Structure 1
Amino acid sequence: MTQTDERDTKEETAALKAPRRRMFSRQTAPLLPEAGAAGAPLTAVIAVMSFLAVLAMASLLMVNRAASEWTSALRSEITVQVKGASAQEIEGSVEAVLRVLRDTEGVLEATEKSREETAELLEPWLGDGNAQSFLNIPAIIEVKAAPSLRDNLDLLRNRIAAAAPTASLDDHARWHDRLSGAARSGQAMAFGVFLLVMGAACAISIFAARAGLAANHEIVSVLHLVGATDGFIAAEVQRRFFILGLRGALLGLFAALTALVVAGVAMRAGGAADNFLPSLRLGGWMILWLAAAPVATCLVTAVTARLTVLKTLSQQY
């Protein structure tokens, strides 16, 4: 065989192997082109799903933090209310109760609220100035108790009743249980919304993957003819959906963080954060948790697309 024949043989062999190398190498353009402008609508839908997922995660974190703050305060404090027919009687009973509290092991701190502070608690119902003018306002003593004392308050309750019959002890157990129940309900609702968003992302990914295969049916047939496996085609679709999902997830995360910052500023300006509503503070750990929501949306979209393609190809080919 001459050198010319050997060179021609090598060129023919290289030409036969070239399509295979190109098929399995990284492509600058996807092997399965998008049908029309399907990429932009899919990115927009994923951005909306990511936006809702971040808001659901933020709600879950806010309720969890607020419930922890509320219940921790209720667990560590008890309240003693002292009533009386006159201010002198109330003052004498308060002194007796304070002596009992100082002599009780497990009482960390006992502070009597001033008459003005107690009247402010009644103003939303009685109006400004009416409580002090027409009523003998009961005295309120806030007590910080150790956990050992919190577990058994019957002895302290009996000692207070013996020292001041008009005094009553409230351990806030009813409010603690109601707040804990409300917090659990809010957390379950937020988590349920998050799961619904993930389910919607799965459904959208399934529909888009099937539509993409139907639109590129001829290209898929050609890929099978040249030796491409179902796993290779599914990997290409997964890569494209991952890129689209990443774009949409980042857009949704940015929009959600912007909305949360604006809502936090509005709440602080209105004074809602200082009262009963949970405060909205975007710290480092909270941002990391919020970033997990769009990442989950992106991964769910890509993995669902891959599984859908594998199942569809196994049924058709």
Structure 2
Amino acid sequence: MYKFKSKPVLPSDITSESVWLARRRYVQQAVALGLISMAAPYQAWGQERSWSVEENTRWPIDEPPTAEKHIVNYNNFYEFGLGKEDPALYAGSMRTDPWVVRIDGEVERPLELDIEQIRKLAPLEERIYRLRCVEAWSMVVPWVGFSLSVLLRQVQPTSKAKYVRFETVADHASMRGLQSRVLQWPYAEGLRIDEAMHPLTMLVLGLYGKELPNQNGAPLRLMVPWKYGFKSAKSLVRISFVEEQPVSSWMAVAPQEYGFFANVNPDVAHPRWSQASERKIGSGIFAARQATLPFNGYAEDVAHMYSSMDLRRYY
């Protein structure tokens, strides 16, 4: 298993040692952590529910987590605005209870599950994933959830199912950004079925030991750690098995820039910026850059799925 090499970090990038070591206690103590957005305050794990969270050590990373304040206050969530700070400012108006997710398409047993039913499908675990954003920023985040495959197996996909399409909520009453024409709404994303069923692919319900705040995709989002950030569809309401390759929202608006696969490939430049290097979020624009790793460093786990593909063509 590849382990990331430690790099120099600024003090502002590192969660305090006392908070990080005490993260397990949040389940029982409902302790708040880091800088909390006034627009979408956190609710600590276990404050109303007695969930247990296990630490997953199958994919170790020897980099410190990014400071929580950067993760909850610097987001792409265009449904709330185009600015990085807009989601934290405006997402608090979105209601996440009740919440129902529909799983349908080429399946034997379509389902509609509320968020409580989804939370009970599998033991929650904390996975520390390294993620590279579209604009060549990187972060290390402790996500809480379980493998997407656990949910997908519930509906028994048919032999026609080749892809999985994800659709996010489009609530005009609370999402001011839906007035923008920058994307087609509701936001849609897609994965090949083997990508969706890979154990690394995760359904996320929380981060830093607490429930997801709205600006990070509450109450349920997708996390695919070897792909770009725009594969991380937030606030999911529908998951569909389909036979034909789905068109994601970014493919529809800018096909010359965004292909279906979105694998992290430092050897293929984006039309508007290089992908060969990246900066840690929170380090500042003048901070030293580090080399981008193929498949975000998860090549040992996932490269075999693309061994017969020209990754310069299928970007």
Q: TM-score, normalised by structure 2?
A: 0.20
Structure number having the greater strand percentage: 2
Report the structure number with the largest CA radius of gyration: 1
Q: TM-score, normalised by structure 1?
A: 0.20
Compare relative contact order (CA 8 Å, sep 6+) and give the higher one, 1 or 2.
Answer: 1
Structure number having the greater helix percentage: 1
